[in-house]
């Protein structure tokens, strides 16, 4: 749907490897640190960036991302400030795809038409909005597609073959396969089942398939990368942010190096994976 996402996944296919998709929450622990992390991610090995839109009730997320949202909100992060971060990132990087991920409520409050116009102008390539099912496509999905912003849908282990076509109907950019049942960051995927699930999705769509939820280490990332088009890591990164903070919850001189160091490890795991035939 968007040039940056299409170009990135085409380049990954040409290189014969999976991509690394990294998630951070905007404004965690403060906007300046987020921007420093964003600008460092591509060089550390991130192929696509997901930026979380903080929300007070992130029901699909486990404790690590819930806490990151609360830290960001406490620091004064808003949806408008999140778009400011995207603009600042785009000032120095016009090629790395950036996707906003979160919940519908902040977008609804902002105003859908205004949000899509501002997001497009800021340089947002896609949206993942976890609480809008296909039955609600008129709310945001179709307007986003009309605005030239990919609407990236989640598929889960419980999405059966009857439901899958509806889930995929207006999906663009890539399909995000949730590798576990439950919330983010709380379990480790069964990597054999992940491979089979990706193969099943590929029978229904030509879109790239990215796999996330539960990927914490370079070994995990490498295992997923053998069969998926991309590996998504979020909870492990925001937990690294948390453990680097001082007693008041503020960033330290360890925060940025710790997060980018983990990204480099994950990227090495992804790049070292032997792809399934």
Active site residues: 50, 61
Distances (CA, A) of 30 to 20, 136, 170: 24, 33, 34
As a whole number of angstroms, the longest Cα–Cα distance in the chain is 50
Q: How far is the C-alpha of 147 from the C-alpha of 205, rounded, in Å?
A: 22
Task: Write out the two tokens for 137.
Answer: 């496509």
Judged on CB neighbours under 10 Å (0-12, 13-18, 19+), 221 is buried
CB 106 within 8 A of CB 81: no
Judged on CB neighbours under 10 Å (0-12, 13-18, 19+), 84 is middle
């Amino acid at each position: 749907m968007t040039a940056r996402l299409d170009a990135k996944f085409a380049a990954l296919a040409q290189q014969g490897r999976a991509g690394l998709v990294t998630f951070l929450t905007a404004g965690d622990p403060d906007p300046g640190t987020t921007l420093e992390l964003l600008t460092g991610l591509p060089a550390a090995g991130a192929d696509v960036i997901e930026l979380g839109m903080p929300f007070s009730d992130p029901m699909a997320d486990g404790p690590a991302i819930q806490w990151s949202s609360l830290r960001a909100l406490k620091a004064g992060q808003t949806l408008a400030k999140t778009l400011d971060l995207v603009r600042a990132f785009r000032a120095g990087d016009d090629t790395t795809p950036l996707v906003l991920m979160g919940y519908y409520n902040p977008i609804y409050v902002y105003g859908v038409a205004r949000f899509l116009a501002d997001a497009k102008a800021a340089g947002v390539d896609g949206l993942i909005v976890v609480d809008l099912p296909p039955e609600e496509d008129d709310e945001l999905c179709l307007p986003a597609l009309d605005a030239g912003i990919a609407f990236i849908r989640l598929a889960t282990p419980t999405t059966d073959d009857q439901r899958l076509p509806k889930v995929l109907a207006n999906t663009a950019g890539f399909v995000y396969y949730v590798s576990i049942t439950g919330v983010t960051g709380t379990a480790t995927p069964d990597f054999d089942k992940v491979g089979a699930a990706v193969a099943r999705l590929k029978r229904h769509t030509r879109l790239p398939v990215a796999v996330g939820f539960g990927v914490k280490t370079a070994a995990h990332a490498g295992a997923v990368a053998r069969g998926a088009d991309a590996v998504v890591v979020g909870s492990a990164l925001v937990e690294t942010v948390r453990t680097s903070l001082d007693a008041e919850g503020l960033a330290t001189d360890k925060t940025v190096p710790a997060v980018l160091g983990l990204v480099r490890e994950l990227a090495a795991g992804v790049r070292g994976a032997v792809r399934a035939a």
